[in-house]
Amino acid sequence: MEHTTAFQRVAQVGNLTEMPLNPLEQQVVTIFLTVLICVVGIGGNIMVVLVVLRTKHMVTPTNCYLVSLAAADLIVLVAAGLPNISDVVAFWIYGYTGCLCITYLQYLGINVSSCSITAFTIERYIAICHSIKAQFLCTVSRAKRIIAGVWVFTSLYCIMWLFLVDTDETVYTNGVVVTCGYRVSRSLYMPIYFLDFTLFYVIPLTVATVLYGLIARILFMSPLPSHLSDREGGGSVHQGHTSSTNRGNKGAIFARKQITKMLLVVVVLFALLWLPYRTLVVVNSFLNPPYHNTWFLLFCRMCIYTNSAINPIIYNLMSQKFRGAFQNFCKCDWQHEEKVAEFRVPMYYSVIKDSSRESNEPVTEQEEVSGQITERVTVADEDRSTFICS
């Protein structure tokens, strides 16, 4: 379909000079860094999505938000990173439709990633600071509804970019250069940039700063509050059961600290890696002409791509659950089923023996606790056995 409306710009005659080309060293550096970051980021984010969706014990409210973040980062890398490779060599080659779609997807991925970070920050705050309410508020089904709402909201919000961008053609003596830019003047799209800056950078970081401060006060204070340190074991009359429960509570508290630290690192990296680009936009809104140093622009782009690629690495380094799930996904250890089968033999014997008791024969405390542990281990093994590598 040809666009012959007033919005479609006609070719403009340049200064009848040769078309400007990016320096060779800039092309080499751009292509190398972009390919490296995009390959690592796309592979890592795909693994995050697959690992969470295919492993039962990984399907938690927090991980649902991380899947949303991974999907958004994939969009950023595919819609912003990969087109940058061709753009630095041959200018814009995707036409008018590509200009609209790629711009839309770029802002969609950026905005969804910001909203996902805000969502899991609020979820962590409720889970730690309001643990009673968290049992009803922090559920997988609610997380899925919130994620669906985030994607619908950002999809509708980003529609405005379809009306703000256009292709532009400039004629030179040795060819025509096509660029994908804005069809409105700089003074008109600056308010939109500031709206994006406020909604998807300032507000999320402000919320994260306040909530993580409250989380740190609760989670890292000494002594711990009673609802965290004695949440499940309080009131037990059996010393052995109390000791095992306390050990379980310590393990749960350690896991909470671990996941909270990991998510805090994700937020900090988001703030730091987006800071150069956001600062440039703010500064250029007051400069005339704007600052467009090619190497600094390249640095800003690489920071954005790195932010979308680094999260799976953070999960692997800071989360034992993710690290183990990634290892299972990569190794495809088929011997696991044989080990599970061997390990289950005495467990099934124990269950059969217990069930063969007469109804009037009492069950000792030690056997009762042993039966509880047997049941939990069996269920855990069943969950692990559902993870099948392809």
The two beta strands, 175-182 and 165-172, are antiparallel
Residue 227 predicted with pLDDT over 90: no
Q: How far apart are CA 47 and CA 81, in angstroms?
A: 19
166-176 pLDDT, tens digit each: 988 887 777 77
Q: Is 242 a member of any domain? A: no
Count up the domains in the chain and report the number: 1
Q: What are phi and psi of 176, to 5 degrees?
A: -120, 135
Give me the pLDDT at residue 225, please: 53
| Rounded Cα gap, residues 356 and 363, in angstroms | 12
User: What gap in Å lies between CA 75 and CA 96, rounded to an integer?
Assistant: 19
**Mapping DSSP to helix (H, G, I), strand (E, B) and coil, where does residue 177 land?**
strand
Better-scored residue on pLDDT, 208 or 243:
208
In a domain, 348, yes or no: no
Peptide bond into 289 cis (omega under 30): yes
What's the rounded Cα separation, in Å, for the pair 293 and 175? 24
Classify residue 317: in a domain, yes or no.
Answer: yes
Q: What's the CA gap between 275 and 272, in Å, rounded?
A: 5
Q: What distance in Å separates the CA atoms of residue 350 and residue 344, rounded to the nearest whole number?
A: 10
pLDDT at 372 over 50: no
Higher pLDDT: 292 or 186? It is 292
- Does the pLDDT of residue 23 top 90, yes or no? no
The amino acid that residue 105 corresponds to is L
Residues contacting 344, CB < 8 A, separation 6+: 378, 381
Mean residue pLDDT across the chain: 77
Tell how far CA 14 is from the center of its chain.
Answer: 44
In a domain, 97, yes or no: yes
Q: Is residue 359 part of a domain?
A: no
Query: Which residue did the predictor score with more confidence, 296 or 176?
Result: 296
Q: Is the dihedral of CA 320, 324, 325, 329 positive or negative?
A: positive
The answer to the question of residue 338 being in a domain is no
Asked if residue 238 lies in contact with residue 149, where contact means CB atoms within 8 angstroms, the answer is no
Contacts of 86 (CB under 8 A, 6+ apart): 93
CA angle 249, 252, 254 (to 5 degrees): 110
Contact 327, 307 (CB under 8 A): no
Give residue-wise pLDDT tens across range 246-292: 555 666 677 778 888 999 999 999 999 999 999 998 888 888 888 88
- How much is the average pLDDT of 86-96? 82
Written as six digits, the tokens of 356 are 């063969």
How far is 181 from 190, CA to CA, in rounded Å? 14
Is 302 inside a domain boundary?
yes
- Long-range contacts, 260-263 (Cβ 8 Å, 24+): 260/124, 260/128, 260/212, 260/215, 260/219, 261/318, 262/314, 262/315, 262/318, 262/319, 263/62, 263/120, 263/121, 263/124
pLDDT at 332: 63
Cα(184)–Cα(7) distance, integer angstroms: 10
Residue 224's pLDDT is 53
- Nearest 5°: phi and psi at 174? -115, 20
pLDDT of residue 338: 47
Domain that holds residue 115: 13-224+253-330
Which amino acid, residue 115? C
Residue 306 is assigned to a structural domain of this protein? yes
pLDDT at 223: 52
- The whole-angstrom distance between residue 352's C-alpha and the CA centroid of its chain comes to 45
- Could you check whether the bond before residue 223 is cis, i.e. omega within 30 degrees of 0? yes
CATH number at residue 186: 1.20.1070.10
**Distance from C-alpha of 292 to C-alpha of 303, rounded to nearest angstrom:** 16
